[in-house]
Amino acid sequence: MTAPVPLSGPRFQTEPAQLYREMRRDHGAVTPVVLDGDIPAWLVLGYRELHQVTGDPVLFSRDSDLWSQWDRIPDDWPLLPMIGRKQPSILYTVGERHRERAAMISNALEAVDPSELRGYAEKFADELIDAICAKGETDIFADYAMLLPVRVLARLYGFSDEQGPGLVTALNDMIDGRERAIAGQTHLATSMFRLLADRKAEPADDVVSRMLADESGFSDEEIAQDLMVMMAAGHQPTADWIGNSLRLMLTDDRFAASLFGGRNSVADAMNEVLWEDTPTQNVAGRWASRDTQLGGRRIRAGDLLLLGLQGANSDPQVRTDGSALTGGNSAHFSFGHGEHRCPFPAQEVAEVIARTGIEVVLDRLPDIDLAVPAESLTRRPSPWLRGLTELPVRFSPTPALGGASL
Protein backbone atom coordinates (compact mmCIF):
# COMPACT_ATOMS: atom_id res chain seq x y z
CA MET A 1 0.00 0.00 0.00
CA THR A 2 1.35 3.43 -0.93
CA ALA A 3 2.09 6.03 1.73
CA PRO A 4 -0.52 8.56 2.88
CA VAL A 5 -0.64 11.79 0.91
CA PRO A 6 0.40 15.05 2.62
CA LEU A 7 -2.52 17.49 2.51
CA SER A 8 -0.24 20.39 1.67
CA GLY A 9 2.25 21.49 -0.94
CA PRO A 10 2.36 23.38 -4.22
CA ARG A 11 0.33 20.88 -6.26
CA PHE A 12 -2.86 22.08 -4.56
CA GLN A 13 -1.97 25.42 -6.13
CA THR A 14 -0.78 24.27 -9.55
CA GLU A 15 -2.60 21.05 -10.47
CA PRO A 16 -5.22 19.90 -7.94
CA ALA A 17 -7.33 18.09 -10.55
CA GLN A 18 -4.39 15.87 -11.52
CA LEU A 19 -3.53 15.37 -7.84
CA TYR A 20 -7.07 14.17 -7.04
CA ARG A 21 -6.94 11.79 -10.03
CA GLU A 22 -3.67 10.32 -8.74
CA MET A 23 -5.09 9.96 -5.22
CA ARG A 24 -8.12 8.14 -6.60
CA ARG A 25 -5.93 5.91 -8.79
CA ASP A 26 -3.50 5.02 -5.99
CA HIS A 27 -5.87 4.86 -3.02
CA GLY A 28 -9.45 4.67 -4.23
CA ALA A 29 -12.44 6.73 -3.16
CA VAL A 30 -11.20 7.19 0.43
CA THR A 31 -7.59 8.36 0.57
CA PRO A 32 -5.34 8.30 3.66
CA VAL A 33 -3.76 11.73 4.15
CA VAL A 34 -1.53 13.39 6.74
CA LEU A 35 -1.97 16.91 8.06
CA ASP A 36 0.66 19.23 9.55
CA GLY A 37 2.51 17.42 12.33
CA ASP A 38 1.91 13.99 10.72
CA ILE A 39 -1.68 13.90 11.96
CA PRO A 40 -3.63 11.19 10.07
CA ALA A 41 -7.01 11.69 8.41
CA TRP A 42 -9.10 10.36 5.52
CA LEU A 43 -9.95 12.42 2.43
CA VAL A 44 -13.27 11.27 0.92
CA LEU A 45 -13.01 11.71 -2.87
CA GLY A 46 -15.77 9.41 -4.12
CA TYR A 47 -19.12 10.99 -5.00
CA ARG A 48 -21.15 8.12 -3.54
CA GLU A 49 -18.93 7.85 -0.47
CA LEU A 50 -19.20 11.59 0.20
CA HIS A 51 -22.97 11.33 -0.17
CA GLN A 52 -22.91 8.54 2.43
CA VAL A 53 -20.76 10.52 4.89
CA THR A 54 -22.73 13.76 4.64
CA GLY A 55 -26.06 11.91 4.73
CA ASP A 56 -25.40 10.09 8.03
CA PRO A 57 -24.73 12.69 10.77
CA VAL A 58 -24.91 10.05 13.51
CA LEU A 59 -22.23 7.70 12.18
CA PHE A 60 -20.15 10.55 10.73
CA SER A 61 -20.62 13.23 13.35
CA ARG A 62 -19.72 16.94 13.38
CA ASP A 63 -18.78 16.57 17.07
CA SER A 64 -15.03 17.20 17.15
CA ASP A 65 -14.81 15.90 20.74
CA LEU A 66 -14.84 12.43 19.18
CA TRP A 67 -11.40 12.91 17.57
CA SER A 68 -8.87 10.32 18.69
CA GLN A 69 -5.90 12.60 17.94
CA TRP A 70 -6.50 15.44 20.42
CA ASP A 71 -3.66 14.29 22.68
CA ARG A 72 -1.26 14.90 19.77
CA ILE A 73 -2.55 18.38 18.86
CA PRO A 74 -0.51 21.29 20.29
CA ASP A 75 -2.17 24.58 21.23
CA ASP A 76 -0.36 26.34 18.38
CA TRP A 77 -1.27 23.78 15.69
CA PRO A 78 -1.74 25.88 12.52
CA LEU A 79 -4.90 24.02 11.48
CA LEU A 80 -6.80 24.67 14.72
CA PRO A 81 -8.78 27.51 13.09
CA MET A 82 -9.87 25.03 10.40
CA ILE A 83 -10.23 21.88 12.53
CA GLY A 84 -10.83 23.39 15.94
CA ARG A 85 -12.05 22.13 19.25
CA LYS A 86 -15.77 22.34 19.73
CA GLN A 87 -16.91 25.97 19.67
CA PRO A 88 -20.31 27.52 20.45
CA SER A 89 -21.19 27.83 16.75
CA ILE A 90 -23.43 25.95 14.37
CA LEU A 91 -20.39 24.19 12.90
CA TYR A 92 -20.04 21.95 15.96
CA THR A 93 -23.68 21.63 17.02
CA VAL A 94 -25.36 18.28 16.37
CA GLY A 95 -28.80 16.67 16.55
CA GLU A 96 -32.02 18.54 17.24
CA ARG A 97 -30.18 21.61 18.52
CA HIS A 98 -28.37 21.87 15.21
CA ARG A 99 -31.66 21.66 13.33
CA GLU A 100 -33.11 24.46 15.46
CA ARG A 101 -30.01 26.55 14.90
CA ALA A 102 -30.01 25.98 11.15
CA ALA A 103 -33.69 26.96 11.07
CA MET A 104 -32.93 30.22 12.92
CA ILE A 105 -30.24 31.14 10.38
CA SER A 106 -32.33 30.07 7.38
CA ASN A 107 -35.36 32.03 8.57
CA ALA A 108 -33.27 35.15 9.14
CA LEU A 109 -31.74 34.95 5.66
CA GLU A 110 -34.93 33.87 3.91
CA ALA A 111 -36.60 37.11 4.97
CA VAL A 112 -34.07 39.14 2.95
CA ASP A 113 -35.92 40.82 0.09
CA PRO A 114 -34.39 39.60 -3.22
CA SER A 115 -34.71 42.97 -4.95
CA GLU A 116 -33.19 44.73 -1.95
CA LEU A 117 -30.30 42.24 -1.93
CA ARG A 118 -29.61 42.82 -5.60
CA GLY A 119 -29.84 46.56 -5.04
CA TYR A 120 -27.19 46.43 -2.32
CA ALA A 121 -24.95 44.25 -4.50
CA GLU A 122 -25.28 46.65 -7.45
CA LYS A 123 -24.65 49.70 -5.23
CA PHE A 124 -21.44 48.38 -3.72
CA ALA A 125 -20.27 46.86 -7.02
CA ASP A 126 -20.73 50.22 -8.76
CA GLU A 127 -18.84 51.99 -5.97
CA LEU A 128 -15.91 49.58 -6.36
CA ILE A 129 -15.90 49.95 -10.16
CA ASP A 130 -16.05 53.75 -9.77
CA ALA A 131 -12.75 53.54 -7.87
CA ILE A 132 -10.96 51.76 -10.74
CA CYS A 133 -12.80 52.50 -14.00
CA ALA A 134 -10.72 55.55 -14.95
CA LYS A 135 -7.40 53.71 -14.56
CA GLY A 136 -7.74 51.36 -17.55
CA GLU A 137 -6.22 48.47 -15.61
CA THR A 138 -6.56 46.81 -12.23
CA ASP A 139 -6.34 43.57 -10.31
CA ILE A 140 -10.03 42.78 -10.56
CA PHE A 141 -9.71 40.11 -7.86
CA ALA A 142 -7.99 42.14 -5.13
CA ASP A 143 -9.61 45.48 -5.97
CA TYR A 144 -13.12 44.17 -6.58
CA ALA A 145 -14.02 40.51 -5.94
CA MET A 146 -12.29 40.43 -2.53
CA LEU A 147 -14.10 43.59 -1.41
CA LEU A 148 -17.67 43.04 -2.59
CA PRO A 149 -19.29 40.10 -0.70
CA VAL A 150 -18.51 41.23 2.84
CA ARG A 151 -19.80 44.75 2.10
CA VAL A 152 -23.16 43.31 1.03
CA LEU A 153 -23.30 40.86 3.93
CA ALA A 154 -22.46 43.60 6.43
CA ARG A 155 -25.42 45.67 5.18
CA LEU A 156 -27.77 42.66 5.37
CA TYR A 157 -26.69 41.90 8.93
CA GLY A 158 -27.25 45.48 10.10
CA PHE A 159 -23.84 47.14 10.05
CA SER A 160 -23.60 50.69 8.78
CA ASP A 161 -21.88 51.37 5.46
CA GLU A 162 -19.17 53.23 7.37
CA GLN A 163 -18.28 50.00 9.19
CA GLY A 164 -18.07 48.02 5.94
CA PRO A 165 -14.47 48.81 4.92
CA GLY A 166 -13.13 47.92 8.39
CA LEU A 167 -14.97 44.60 8.30
CA VAL A 168 -13.52 43.89 4.85
CA THR A 169 -9.99 44.42 6.16
CA ALA A 170 -10.60 42.40 9.34
CA LEU A 171 -12.15 39.44 7.54
CA ASN A 172 -9.47 39.33 4.84
CA ASP A 173 -6.74 39.53 7.51
CA MET A 174 -8.37 36.65 9.40
CA ILE A 175 -8.68 34.49 6.28
CA ASP A 176 -5.07 35.17 5.23
CA GLY A 177 -3.93 33.46 8.43
CA ARG A 178 -0.83 35.62 8.79
CA GLU A 179 0.43 38.08 11.38
CA ARG A 180 -2.80 40.12 11.42
CA ALA A 181 -5.15 37.13 11.59
CA ILE A 182 -5.82 37.35 15.34
CA ALA A 183 -6.33 41.12 15.17
CA GLY A 184 -8.80 40.62 12.33
CA GLN A 185 -10.69 37.96 14.28
CA THR A 186 -10.79 40.23 17.35
CA HIS A 187 -12.13 43.17 15.31
CA LEU A 188 -14.81 40.96 13.76
CA ALA A 189 -15.89 39.50 17.13
CA THR A 190 -15.95 42.90 18.83
CA SER A 191 -18.01 44.33 15.97
CA MET A 192 -20.49 41.44 16.15
CA PHE A 193 -21.06 41.77 19.90
CA ARG A 194 -21.47 45.55 19.57
CA LEU A 195 -24.03 45.05 16.82
CA LEU A 196 -25.91 42.51 18.94
CA ALA A 197 -26.07 44.99 21.82
CA ASP A 198 -27.29 47.75 19.49
CA ARG A 199 -30.01 45.54 17.98
CA LYS A 200 -31.19 44.27 21.36
CA ALA A 201 -31.70 47.91 22.35
CA GLU A 202 -33.14 48.97 19.00
CA PRO A 203 -34.32 46.14 16.65
CA ALA A 204 -34.39 46.78 12.91
CA ASP A 205 -35.27 44.95 9.70
CA ASP A 206 -32.03 43.02 9.39
CA VAL A 207 -30.58 39.53 9.84
CA VAL A 208 -29.22 40.14 13.34
CA SER A 209 -32.54 41.45 14.68
CA ARG A 210 -34.36 38.44 13.25
CA MET A 211 -31.88 36.03 14.85
CA LEU A 212 -32.27 37.79 18.21
CA ALA A 213 -36.04 37.54 17.90
CA ASP A 214 -35.91 33.77 17.41
CA GLU A 215 -37.56 31.92 20.32
CA SER A 216 -35.24 28.89 20.39
CA GLY A 217 -33.24 30.35 23.27
CA PHE A 218 -29.78 30.88 21.79
CA SER A 219 -27.30 32.98 23.75
CA ASP A 220 -25.61 36.14 22.48
CA GLU A 221 -22.36 34.16 22.32
CA GLU A 222 -23.96 31.50 20.11
CA ILE A 223 -25.53 34.08 17.80
CA ALA A 224 -22.30 36.06 17.53
CA GLN A 225 -20.35 32.88 16.69
CA ASP A 226 -22.90 31.96 14.03
CA LEU A 227 -22.73 35.44 12.52
CA MET A 228 -18.93 35.18 12.25
CA VAL A 229 -19.24 31.74 10.65
CA MET A 230 -21.86 33.08 8.22
CA MET A 231 -19.75 36.07 7.28
CA ALA A 232 -16.56 34.06 6.76
CA ALA A 233 -18.36 31.29 4.85
CA GLY A 234 -20.29 33.82 2.79
CA HIS A 235 -17.39 36.12 1.94
CA GLN A 236 -14.29 34.25 0.78
CA PRO A 237 -15.98 31.46 -1.24
CA THR A 238 -18.21 34.06 -2.92
CA ALA A 239 -15.21 36.26 -3.71
CA ASP A 240 -13.47 33.23 -5.20
CA TRP A 241 -16.64 32.30 -7.11
CA ILE A 242 -16.54 35.75 -8.74
CA GLY A 243 -12.80 35.54 -9.42
CA ASN A 244 -12.85 31.97 -10.75
CA SER A 245 -15.85 32.73 -12.98
CA LEU A 246 -14.25 35.87 -14.43
CA ARG A 247 -11.05 33.91 -15.06
CA LEU A 248 -13.03 31.24 -16.91
CA MET A 249 -14.82 33.81 -19.05
CA LEU A 250 -11.56 35.60 -19.88
CA THR A 251 -9.59 32.47 -20.75
CA ASP A 252 -12.04 29.89 -22.15
CA ASP A 253 -13.44 30.40 -25.66
CA ARG A 254 -16.58 28.46 -24.68
CA PHE A 255 -17.62 31.43 -22.54
CA ALA A 256 -16.54 34.28 -24.79
CA ALA A 257 -20.19 35.25 -25.38
CA SER A 258 -20.50 36.15 -21.70
CA LEU A 259 -18.11 39.03 -22.27
CA PHE A 260 -20.33 40.55 -24.94
CA GLY A 261 -23.78 40.59 -23.40
CA GLY A 262 -24.60 36.87 -23.34
CA ARG A 263 -26.02 36.79 -19.83
CA ASN A 264 -27.03 33.14 -19.99
CA SER A 265 -23.35 32.39 -20.36
CA VAL A 266 -22.69 34.07 -17.01
CA ALA A 267 -24.91 31.54 -15.23
CA ASP A 268 -23.32 28.73 -17.26
CA ALA A 269 -19.82 29.88 -16.32
CA MET A 270 -20.73 30.17 -12.65
CA ASN A 271 -22.17 26.65 -12.63
CA GLU A 272 -19.16 25.30 -14.50
CA VAL A 273 -16.90 26.75 -11.81
CA LEU A 274 -18.88 24.97 -9.09
CA TRP A 275 -18.21 21.66 -10.83
CA GLU A 276 -14.67 22.13 -12.14
CA ASP A 277 -13.02 24.85 -10.03
CA THR A 278 -15.12 25.13 -6.90
CA PRO A 279 -13.94 27.72 -4.35
CA THR A 280 -14.34 25.29 -1.43
CA GLN A 281 -12.18 22.32 -2.39
CA ASN A 282 -12.01 20.35 0.86
CA VAL A 283 -13.84 20.73 4.17
CA ALA A 284 -13.04 19.60 7.70
CA GLY A 285 -14.58 17.56 8.92
CA ARG A 286 -16.55 14.63 10.23
CA TRP A 287 -15.59 12.19 12.97
CA ALA A 288 -16.57 8.51 13.00
CA SER A 289 -18.67 7.71 16.05
CA ARG A 290 -17.88 3.97 15.80
CA ASP A 291 -15.83 1.54 13.72
CA THR A 292 -17.22 1.21 10.20
CA GLN A 293 -16.38 0.57 6.53
CA LEU A 294 -16.29 3.24 3.84
CA GLY A 295 -15.09 2.85 0.27
CA GLY A 296 -13.32 -0.39 1.14
CA ARG A 297 -11.48 1.24 4.05
CA ARG A 298 -11.73 0.33 7.70
CA ILE A 299 -12.59 3.53 9.54
CA ARG A 300 -11.97 3.53 13.30
CA ALA A 301 -14.06 5.32 15.89
CA GLY A 302 -12.59 8.79 16.37
CA ASP A 303 -11.04 9.00 12.89
CA LEU A 304 -11.24 12.37 11.11
CA LEU A 305 -12.77 12.40 7.63
CA LEU A 306 -12.25 15.40 5.35
CA LEU A 307 -14.88 16.13 2.71
CA GLY A 308 -13.23 16.20 -0.72
CA LEU A 309 -15.83 18.33 -2.50
CA GLN A 310 -13.81 18.96 -5.67
CA GLY A 311 -12.63 15.36 -5.81
CA ALA A 312 -16.23 14.13 -5.61
CA ASN A 313 -17.37 16.65 -8.24
CA SER A 314 -14.79 15.21 -10.65
CA ASP A 315 -15.43 11.55 -9.78
CA PRO A 316 -15.34 9.78 -13.18
CA GLN A 317 -18.31 7.62 -12.13
CA VAL A 318 -20.52 10.73 -12.23
CA ARG A 319 -18.49 12.95 -14.60
CA THR A 320 -17.98 10.44 -17.38
CA ASP A 321 -16.99 13.17 -19.86
CA GLY A 322 -15.00 15.78 -18.00
CA SER A 323 -14.71 17.97 -21.09
CA ALA A 324 -18.48 18.37 -21.53
CA LEU A 325 -20.17 21.47 -20.16
CA THR A 326 -22.32 20.84 -17.12
CA GLY A 327 -25.14 23.12 -18.29
CA GLY A 328 -27.81 23.47 -15.63
CA ASN A 329 -26.79 20.35 -13.68
CA SER A 330 -26.50 21.40 -10.03
CA ALA A 331 -25.87 17.99 -8.45
CA HIS A 332 -22.38 19.08 -7.37
CA PHE A 333 -21.11 19.07 -3.78
CA SER A 334 -19.91 22.68 -3.79
CA PHE A 335 -22.44 23.70 -1.13
CA GLY A 336 -22.12 20.43 0.76
CA HIS A 337 -24.92 17.94 1.36
CA GLY A 338 -27.06 16.69 4.18
CA GLU A 339 -27.84 18.23 7.53
CA HIS A 340 -24.72 20.42 7.63
CA ARG A 341 -24.87 21.71 4.05
CA CYS A 342 -24.89 25.42 3.37
CA PRO A 343 -28.48 26.59 4.04
CA PHE A 344 -30.46 27.21 0.83
CA PRO A 345 -31.12 30.89 1.62
CA ALA A 346 -27.37 31.40 2.14
CA GLN A 347 -26.68 29.79 -1.24
CA GLU A 348 -29.19 32.12 -2.86
CA VAL A 349 -27.59 35.17 -1.22
CA ALA A 350 -24.14 34.08 -2.44
CA GLU A 351 -25.42 33.47 -5.96
CA VAL A 352 -27.08 36.89 -6.18
CA ILE A 353 -23.94 38.64 -4.93
CA ALA A 354 -21.66 36.71 -7.29
CA ARG A 355 -23.84 37.01 -10.38
CA THR A 356 -24.58 40.68 -9.80
CA GLY A 357 -20.88 41.34 -9.21
CA ILE A 358 -19.94 39.67 -12.48
CA GLU A 359 -22.68 41.39 -14.48
CA VAL A 360 -21.68 44.83 -13.17
CA VAL A 361 -18.10 44.20 -14.30
CA LEU A 362 -19.25 43.21 -17.79
CA ASP A 363 -21.67 46.17 -18.02
CA ARG A 364 -19.21 48.78 -16.77
CA LEU A 365 -16.03 47.41 -18.39
CA PRO A 366 -17.35 45.90 -21.65
CA ASP A 367 -13.95 45.42 -23.31
CA ILE A 368 -12.28 43.88 -20.25
CA ASP A 369 -9.42 41.54 -21.11
CA LEU A 370 -6.58 39.76 -19.35
CA ALA A 371 -3.49 41.91 -18.89
CA VAL A 372 -1.16 38.92 -18.49
CA PRO A 373 -0.83 35.51 -20.21
CA ALA A 374 -3.46 33.09 -18.92
CA GLU A 375 -0.82 30.54 -17.99
CA SER A 376 0.82 33.03 -15.60
CA LEU A 377 -2.24 33.21 -13.33
CA THR A 378 -1.56 31.58 -9.96
CA ARG A 379 -3.68 30.25 -7.09
CA ARG A 380 -3.34 30.51 -3.36
CA PRO A 381 -1.48 27.42 -2.06
CA SER A 382 -4.35 26.01 0.00
CA PRO A 383 -5.88 22.52 0.05
CA TRP A 384 -9.09 24.03 1.47
CA LEU A 385 -10.08 27.04 -0.65
CA ARG A 386 -9.21 27.52 -4.31
CA GLY A 387 -8.89 31.10 -5.47
CA LEU A 388 -6.62 33.34 -7.46
CA THR A 389 -3.75 35.33 -6.01
CA GLU A 390 -4.55 38.06 -8.55
CA LEU A 391 -6.44 38.62 -11.80
CA PRO A 392 -4.82 41.55 -13.69
CA VAL A 393 -7.08 43.01 -16.40
CA ARG A 394 -7.13 45.98 -18.76
CA PHE A 395 -10.03 47.92 -20.25
CA SER A 396 -10.87 51.24 -21.81
CA PRO A 397 -11.00 53.97 -19.13
CA THR A 398 -14.53 55.20 -18.39
CA PRO A 399 -15.91 57.88 -16.03
CA ALA A 400 -17.31 57.01 -12.61
CA LEU A 401 -21.06 56.83 -12.16
CA GLY A 402 -21.36 58.22 -8.65
CA GLY A 403 -24.94 58.17 -7.44
CA ALA A 404 -26.92 58.24 -4.25
CA SER A 405 -26.74 55.48 -1.65
CA LEU A 406 -29.65 53.20 -0.89
Give the closest residue to 133 by CA, choosing from 390, 368, 352: 368
Q: Parallel, antiparallel, or unpaired for β 304-308 and 39-44?
A: parallel
Amino acid identity of residue 126, one-letter, is D
CATH topology assigned to domain 5-394:
Cytochrome p450 (1.10.630)
> Distance between CA 285 and CA 54 in Å, rounded?
10
The residue extents of the domains of the chain are: 5-394
3-class DSSP state of 27:
helix
> Distance between CA 248 and CA 120 in Å, rounded?
25
Per-residue pLDDT of the chain (406 residues; tens, 9 = 90+): 578 999 888 888 788 889 999 999 999 999 999 998 999 999 999 999 999 999 999 999 988 899 999 999 988 787 776 777 766 677 777 788 888 888 999 999 999 999 999 999 999 999 999 999 999 999 999 999 999 999 999 999 999 888 888 888 887 777 665 667 778 888 988 999 999 999 999 999 999 999 999 988 899 999 998 998 888 889 999 999 999 999 999 998 877 766 666 566 888 889 999 998 999 999 888 999 999 999 999 999 999 999 999 999 999 888 765 555 555 677 788 888 878 778 889 999 999 999 999 999 999 999 999 999 999 999 987 788 899 999 999 999 999 987 544 4
Give the closest residue to 310 by CA, choosing from 46, 8, 53: 46
**What's the predicted TM-score (pTM) here?**
0.90
| H or E element, residue 17 | helix 16-27
Residue 292: phi and psi, rounded to 5, are -160, 180
Residue 405: predicted pLDDT = 43
DSSP string, 31-47: EEEEETTTEEEEEE--H
Overall size of the chain counted in residues:
406
Residue 353: predicted pLDDT = 97
Question: Helix axis angle, 181-201 relative to 164-176, nearest 10°?
Answer: 140
